[in-house]
Chains A and B, each alone.
Chain A
Amino acid sequence: MARKLPSRDVVIIGLGWTGAILANELTDAGLDVVAIERGPWRDTAESFNVGYAPDELRFAVRLDLFLRPAQETLTFRNNLNQTALPIRQFGSFLPGDGVGGAGVHWNGQNWRYHPTDFRLRSHLIERYGASAIGDLTIQDWGVTYDELEPFFDRFEKIAGISGKAGNLKGAIQPGGNPFEGSRSDDYPLPPMQMTYAPTLFAEAARSVGYHPFPTPSANASGAYTNPLGLTMGPCTFCGFCERFGCANYSKASPQVNVLPVLMRKRNFEARTECEVLKINLDGSGKRATGVTYVDTAGQEWEQPGDLVICCAFSLFNVRMLLLSGIGKPYDPSTNEGVVGRNYSYQTNSSVQMFFDNKTFNPFIASGALGQSADDFNGDNFDHTGLGFIGGAGMNCIPTNGRPILTRPVPPGTPNWGSAWKKATKESYNSAFSITSQGSSYTTRGNYIDLDPTYKDRFGRPLMRMTFDFPENDIRMSAFVNDKLATVAKAMGPRQIVANKTGTPYSVVPYQSTHNVGGAIMGADPKTSVLNKYLQSWDVPNVFVMGASAYPQNAGYNPTGTVGALAYWAAHAIRTQYLKNPGPMVQA
């Protein structure tokens, strides 16, 4: 039997990037906020300090900072003809856990989505006609890049992003990304010092006519104090970035960039190791009354609140809505319903190069230290006659040389024995890969619902993911992979190995943790879960943050846009919703 607690103004589910941002903004507005996080408290000095952070086995292989599938997982199938089975060990994607969430162990690659991404469907129809879309279910977001621009700026300044503007107030800047949307201000920090491989890549990319620029990076290029007064140190290129917490305050995270200020506030409370089971609704089903959660002793608690903000990882936001009965679940056979609709991912490929007589020192690295080129991303190029839409960023960001998992060898090398040993030794320091990170466009058949068979430890149904790469995306990825190979050739390696992506999609090898969609934003409540302010169409005092709001994915890491949307939504709540609680957009 759940025991009832005193009510709070705001209940936040999950204390990662969006939870910390929303909590900080709403406590500033004078509200009482409680954030309920199912994982543990995490702190730089205790959880990942310089003494034991650089431990590949513990953090990259055993995944100490990540969600355990035993705590929550989902079932998976490629299509409706299969029976979904549990993801018993995470592989393809690695959801985070704990205070700070994936904001602790991300790489720090930080992007603004392109202006055309936000009105993708309209834009592509304008340019190529409706037939170009085919049976893809891509949609407009309901919010524009121009509306979000000040909030992109805000997040970048809070996070201390290092980079070089390519488009400053409409004027193209040398050294930046010439394709990006217009920015009101440059990045708060200059680009990072480059290592050898990205320098070679940039020269080669330029030589074949592309426009490389430093990857926008949340690994600070120098000491920095953000607008909240919080200080970052400079990145030291340790090569223990993704999957690891940063030991010296140089990778942007909730811990470094928001929490110390948030935690000092009397009107904020963090409640850790408590798992929210569902959002409670009143009899009408149109108003949330709070949440029910369970603590580690197994006791259930009811935490009432006037405003509930779902700030968990994208997939788990979708599950929360399904389990709470907020919004009509999506049914692919009828194409009706909204929750679970338009789930998508990221379509990646790579080209690996083996060199003679070169020393790349792959262990001198950081998660976002590299060069990128957007020449074949999004709709930056003419797709006429190509047979696909979408694109991919070309990236040379060799993030690490950690030898358990990063040991390139040429194809055909035996997996063991002296020949393996020799090839491993020879290639370790003289090989690297360049990658394409591509858009993931949505289809009717790629969606999320609840599994009919498998349950979590509380007896609630697991989420079920049905997903495969659409043919469109495979064609797009192969196209950009060929462009990558062009750049690779210009670098003069001894051997080039192209790794193209194919179907069926497998959950086994790691690809990306950019799971997006399932609780998408839009202008039409018949095809979206949230309005442009990330407010639920069905239950106006519920907001859902995160990349679950993306109607489809672009060729970028989602976090920069997640941060901007969080600030955008917080601003809307403060300036509109609090003065007049209720639906902010008339359907």
Chain B
Amino acid sequence: MRRALVSAAFAAIGFAAPANAVDQQAFEQVERGRYLTIMGDCVACHTAPGGKPYAGGLTIATPFGNLLSPNITPDVATGIGAFSDDQFVNAVQNGIGSKGQRLYPALPYPYYHKMPRADLLAIRAYLNTLDPVSNAVEPNQLPFPFNIRMSLLFWNLLNFDRTPLVDDPNQSPQWNRGRYIVEGPGHCGACHTPKTWLGGDNTSQALKGGVLQGWFAPDITGQARKGIGDWSEDELVAYLKTGVIARSSASGPMAEVVVNSTSKLSDADLRAVAIYLKSLTPASAPAPAALAASDPHMVAGKAIYKDSCAACHREDGEGIDNLFPRLRGSSVVQQDDPTTLIRVILEGTRAAATSERPTGAAMPSFAWRFSDDQVADLITYIRNGWGNGASSVSASAVKDIRGADRPNPAKTGQAP
């Protein structure tokens, strides 16, 4: 708090610390910074659709209203070109803006807080090499009272754990590296950890799945069935590298993460992440008993599956390696929250396309074809067929996600 006041005071006086306290041109500094920037996937939030990279302006929908991501190109007037190193680090690590204002945790600074200053300066060095883009963005689009930044003081007290990350001597260097990536720049928990009502991480459920922007980011702890416990290390590495493996195909925001970020990380780093995640084995509830095949929802769902889905995913749910994901035994399919499944069926999705696996196979949108009941029964069947076990899905859940203005066979008179 006092530091913030001091920084604000300096800014008010107009004292400008030199913007380039570190030699920004150092090749190895910039290279390291580029790698870390990719690891942090800064480009994903700081680029608007149709906009220049890192120039900000992306609308980020939060439960409290909208924010716009700021311009982090080195433009002096509208970007961060005039920031001092301290101001940059303070923003990313502590959530304090250049004018001393508190930043909304859409910027996941609690995660970046775990990065050492040297890493953040390397990122700064890389960002400084980008073309400056003039794009004035007013980030705060929240409605009252959330637009009062001082309220974040309270939020930080509850949710900002400033415990630094220290290597665990009982674990391998690889495990520690993996933890650094996951808990730090990778900020995996920003999506994969469920949130409290205040929008902070529910740390007791770390990485056990969370909802963000209408997607359910699944459980990525090392538990079997719902988590990635059944995945081999090789599978995890291949998934992060290409987004496409036999048992799963990254969709929605995760496909973007793969293409923008994880596909460009080293194999060693990806393996470290895999080792760390698989080591997380929190206690979990036993699998629910699968719905009986004779259940009327299952019978209907099976008929729909046979007619609509089997041509790609096969009648036995095995899919086709690296093209159509396997549904049998799938952890994505068996998450407690079926939001992602509902979205994928209604609006379709496209697999990540990387140079290693360039196909980018797409699942079509079925919203025009299936009623809410049919989507619900279909997903219930998938979640309970072939030895899978997970809660059934209701038509009202589908209806909420579909929304009133989306395609619906009821509008065409073809719904039964």
Which A residues have a C-beta under 8 Å from some C-beta of B?
43-46, 49-52, 223, 225, 228-234, 236, 238, 247-249, 256, 260-261, 264
Contacts and interface: CB of A to CB of B under 8 A. Distances in A.
Interface string B313-349: 0000000111110000000000000000000000010
A466 B366 CA distance: 47
The secondary structure that dominates the B interface is loop
Given A49-B364, A247-B311, 18 more contacts: A44-B362, A45-B363, A50-B311, A51-B364, A51-B369, A223-B320, A223-B321, A228-B358, A229-B356, A229-B357, A230-B358, A230-B359, A231-B359, A232-B323, A233-B324, A236-B311, A238-B311, A264-B353
A226 to B, nearest CB: 10
Contact of A249 (B321, B348, B361): B361
B294 interface: no
B364 A45 contact: yes
Interface residues on B, range: 20 to 34
8 contacts: A44-B361, A45-B365, A52-B369, A223-B320, A223-B321, A260-B353, A260-B358, A260-B360
A264 B355 contact: yes
A248 B311 contact: yes
B368 interface: yes
Contacts of B311: 50, 236, 238, 247-248
Nearest to A262: B358
B232 interface: no
Nearest to A225: B322
B350 interface: yes
Interface string B243-279: 0000000000000000000000000000000000000
A45 B355 contact: no
B213 interface: no
Contact of A233 (B312, B364, B365): B312
A364 to B, nearest CB: 13
A50 B364 contact: yes
A122 to B, nearest CB: 44
B248 to A, nearest CB: 15
A173 to B, nearest CB: 29
A508 to B, nearest CB: 35
B308 interface: yes
Contact of A45 (B322, B353, B362, B369): B362
A99 to B, nearest CB: 15
Contacts of B365: 45
Nearest to B244: A231
A50 B358 contact: no
Nearest to B362: A45
Contacts of A44: 361-362
A248 B309 CA distance: 10
A51 B323 contact: no
Nearest to A229: B358
Given A45-B348, A260-B353, A264-B355, A231 B361 contact: yes
A228 B359 CA distance: 9
Contacts of A50: 308, 311-312, 364
Q: Which of B348, B350, B361, B363 has the most CB of A within 10 A?
A: B361
A33 to B, nearest CB: 18
A233 B323 contact: yes
B366 A51 contact: yes
A515 to B, nearest CB: 32
Contact of A261 (B312, B320, B358, B364): B358
Nearest to B367: A51
A229 B350 CA distance: 17
Contacts of A45: 348, 350, 362-365
A43 B359 CA distance: 12
Contacts of A230: 358-359
Contacts of A264: 353, 355, 358
A260 B352 CA distance: 11
A187 B289 CA distance: 47
A-B pairs, top 3 by smallest CB distance, nearest first, are A49-B364, A45-B362, A45-B364
Nearest to A257: B359
A52 B368 CA distance: 10
A234 B368 contact: no
A201 to B, nearest CB: 27
Contacts of B356: 229
A231 B364 contact: no
Contacts of A256: 359
